[in-house]
Structure formats: C-alpha cells, structure tokens
Structure 1
Amino acid sequence: MFLAAALSIALLQSAPDPALLAEVKAADAALFETFFERCDPARLAAQVTPDFEMYHDKDGVVATSGDAFVALYAKGCEAKKAPDAWRSRRALLPETLRVDPVPGFGAIEEGDHVFYERQGDGPEKLVGKAHFVQLWKRGADGWRVARILSYAHQAMP
C-alpha cells in the first residue's frame, strides 16, 4: 500500500504542468523572435538576466553577462542592415520540447530546433539542427533566460 502511494505521488510530481509549459514556450518564442527576426537590443535586454551565460558547442563561451550578450546582438543587428546580409530564423521542434520546474527559481527547458537562412530577400533554406537546454528565471517582470546551452549542431543537407 505504501509503495503504491509513493509511486502515485512520484508519477504526479513528474507529470508536465501545462501552464508552466505554455508560459515557457511563449517566453522561448518571444526570445528567439527577438533574436532572429528583430533588431531590438532593449527588448533583448529585458529577456535575459544580468548574469546570463551562453555556451555553444561551435562558438564556445558566447557570453557571460546579459550586457555582453546584448552588445554582441546589437553588433549583429548592424550587420543585418545591409541589403544582401544573411538572415536566420529558428524553429522549435515542438514534439521535442520538455519543461521541468525549478522550485523557487523558474524552469528548465530542453528540446531541439532547426535553423533557416536566406541572403537578403532570397529564398530561405533549412541549414541546421541543434539541441538546447535553457534555464529560465521567473520574476516579477516575467520570464528571463539565465543560461543557454546550445549543442549537437548538425548541418542539414
């Protein structure tokens, strides 16, 4: 009897929280829409924590503070103003998405995403896929990403 009760509690605790999933998925979509499809450093600054860190299996340590990440982004925005500049888009693969709570802090998000590129106004092409883990912090002002691990990058044929 005790074992059955303990197992039931464990299963309930591991069940995904639909509200948490929806909140983190929305924060994720807003973050990547800002990063890839806008040039709005102030908006990005409001989406990352001051102590933000990002690690990438191809680019290494991308940033160790929110300010550094936003500055890198702002520099990239300037380059995108050229008519023939390369532009990228990220698409989450929703069937791979997993969100787990971090009590008293926020949530851990994990999944896969694909990337598309186009030059200027040219046609968009699928170019890559990767796995990610993101640590989100929930505060009075909403969700902010604190850590990003981006790895297992693969080129797409």
Structure 2
Amino acid sequence: MNKIKSVAFTVIVFLTAISTAQETYQETYQDIKEAVYVPINQEIYDTIVALDKTYFDAYNSCDMETQAALYDDDLEFFHDKGGLSTSKPELLMALQNNICNKVTRTLLEGSIEVYPINNYGAIEIGYHKFYNNEEPDAISKPSKFIVIWKQGIEKWTITKVISLH
C-alpha cells in the first residue's frame, strides 16, 4: 500500500511540475509576442534605416558604385544557402552577374530593429522579400537578415551580412 501511495505522490508531483512549466512557458512566450521594439538610440536607428534604403535602392537599380561604397573591404557575407563570402570584389561581381535587373528586394515595413554597438557601430535586424523579375508570378516569402554596420570617421560601412531564407 505504501508503494502505491509513493507512486501516486510521484505522479501528482510530476504532473504539477509539468503544469507549472507549461504556464511559465506560455507566460514567457506571451511576453515575447507582445514585446514592442523601441529604438535605443533614435539617431542611429534613423541613420541605419536610411542606409538600408540607400543600399537596396542601389541593389534594385544595379548601382554597383553605391553598393561597393557601402561594403567594407573586410566584408563577411554569410548566406544560409550559398555559404560564406569574404571577397568584396567577388561578391560585387556575383551581384552584378546574378542579381542586376533580375531580382528586386522589398523591405517589410516596420520590421527593422537597430542595436547600437559601443565603439563600433550597430546591428540591423529585419525582414525582407526578394522577387525574381524573370518569374513575376513566383511567390516570395519573408526572410530575415542581419547586417553589422561599422561607423567610420566619415561614413558607415557594412562589415557583415547574415542572409537567411
């Protein structure tokens, strides 16, 4: 009889623990879902959003000079499907050969978050879509991107890109 009571007690404790863990998870998940991004530094946020627009206007119009000026010489471009590229000239050539007049990027409005990095620059996180201009009926799904910007003496440059699809 004591063994049955012990097993019953263990089952009750276990079920209570699971229930408590589930409630804690749901509360935490709800907090995350309800979290609203507010820029830490509005000036840096505005700067990065403007730079994002400048870069992707150049990307969409095949303005290679502007794109080259925004990429740092010590660039690292991580693409979840294409791998790592560390050559600025090779990346620019690939963009010119494979993207120019073939792909258009649109930003999901309001998706950009910017986090200042002390003594370096900022991290930009957001969502965008890419459209294949040669397949106008193709569906584009939002994908996440992360860009690390370095603030130089005279300008900001892109040092790292993480492109996820």
Q: More strand per residue: 1 or 2? A: 1
Q: Is the counterpart of residue 70 in structure 1 residue 92 in structure 2?
A: yes
Number of matched pairs: 128
What amino acid sits opposite 1:75 in the alignment?
N
Q: For 1:29 and 1:43, locate their aligned partners in 2 and report how far apart those are by CA, in whole Å.
A: 12
Give 1:130's match in structure 2, choosing from 143, 158, 163: 143
2:79 to 56, 65, 76: 56
Query: How many Å separate the matches in 2 of 1:113 and 1:141?
Result: 28
Question: 2: distance between equivalents of 1:31 and 1:124?
Answer: 26
Alignment CA distance shift 1:76-1:123 (3 Å): closer
Identify the structure with the greater helix proportion. Answer: 2
Flag the 1:114–1:15 CA change in 2: closer, same or farther, 3 A.
Answer: closer
Q: Does 1:39 align with 2:38?
A: no
Q: Hey, what does 1:145 align to over in structure 2?
A: 158
1:101-155 deviation digits (Å, cap 9, x = unpaired): 0111110001111222322xx857542321111100111332211100011x2xx
* Matched residue type, 2:123: I
- 1:96, 1:71 → 2: CA distance? 29
Larger radius of gyration: 2
C-alpha separation between the residues in 1 aligned to 2:133 and 2:91?
23
Runs of 5+ unmatched residues, structure 1? 1-13, 81-86
CA contact (8 A) 2:39 2:45 kept: no
Matched, 1:91 2:106: yes
TM-score normalised according to structure 2 size: 0.68
Q: Distance in 1 between matches of 2:55 and 2:116?
A: 19
Matches of 2:147 and 2:139 in 1, distance apart?
Answer: 23
Contact between 1:132 and 1:149, CA under 8 Å: does it hold in 2? yes
Identity of aligned residues (%): 28
Report the Cα distance in structure 2 between the residues aligned to 1:95 and 1:40, rounded to whole angstroms: 25
Residue 120 (structure 2) pairs with residue 105 (structure 1)? yes
* Contact 1:116–1:124 (CA under 8 A) maintained in structure 2: no
Superposed CA RMSD: 2.2
